[in-house]
Amino acid sequence: MDVLDAYNRIARNRRFKLPKIDRSGLVIETNRLSEPADVWPALAAHAPTQGWLQFQSAQMAFDDGLPEPATEWGLLLAAEAVISYDLSISLSLDGAGGWTLISYRKEAAGDLLHDVVTQPAYDRRNGVLRYRRWWRRDDQQGYLQVAACFIGYE
């Protein structure tokens, strides 16, 4: 029995409350943005449907596409958003005066394991934040988390 089968066999026991794990692949693309004027257009070009935004002077969730930005919010500092079921993006400051925009695309086939976990949302009216985590097998250390991305509200 492989590790995935063994885990899911244990997870079926509701007493443990373990997330279901499946096998998949992951494609990560990273883009660096250096100009503040490029940040919002880069995010908007992906046409996200749901996510959260953190500006200098505002923080918010969105559930029906991006809101129209207001100048009093200041610069966009961070964001996580869903494009489709298998595609998400994250935006963060890179520590060198720019931003990093990362896309995470789940592939049907691959050698990684993934699960879905939840975290409390800033605004409880949105429910909880759902994240997909990917795990890679390491011969020395077992399974190590290699990535996680926001996949929507529940």
pLDDT tens readout for residues 31-80: 999 999 999 999 999 999 999 999 999 999 999 999 999 999 999 999 99
Residue 117 has a CB neighbour count (10 Å cut-off) of 12
Write down the pTM of the prediction. Answer: 0.90
Q: Report the residue count for the chain.
A: 154
Q: How far is CA 153 from CA 84, 114, 125, in A?
A: 13, 18, 10
How much is the pLDDT for 151? 97
Q: How far is CA 63 from CA 94, 106, 127, in A?
A: 26, 21, 12
pLDDT tens readout for residues 113-144: 999 999 998 777 778 999 999 999 999 999 99
10 Å CB burial of residue 50 (0-12, 13-18, 19+) is buried
Q: How far is CA 132 from CA 23, 52, 82, in A?
A: 12, 16, 11
Domains of the chain, by residue range, sit at 3-65+72-153
Which comes out higher in pLDDT, residue 11 or 122? 11
- Judged by average pLDDT, the poorest of 14-18, 105-109, 121-125 is 121-125
Across the range 106-116, mean pLDDT stands at 96
- The closest alpha carbon to 102, from 66, 61, 150, belongs to 150
- Residue 1 — pLDDT band, cuts 50, 70, 90? low
10 Å CB burial of residue 140 (0-12, 13-18, 19+) is exposed
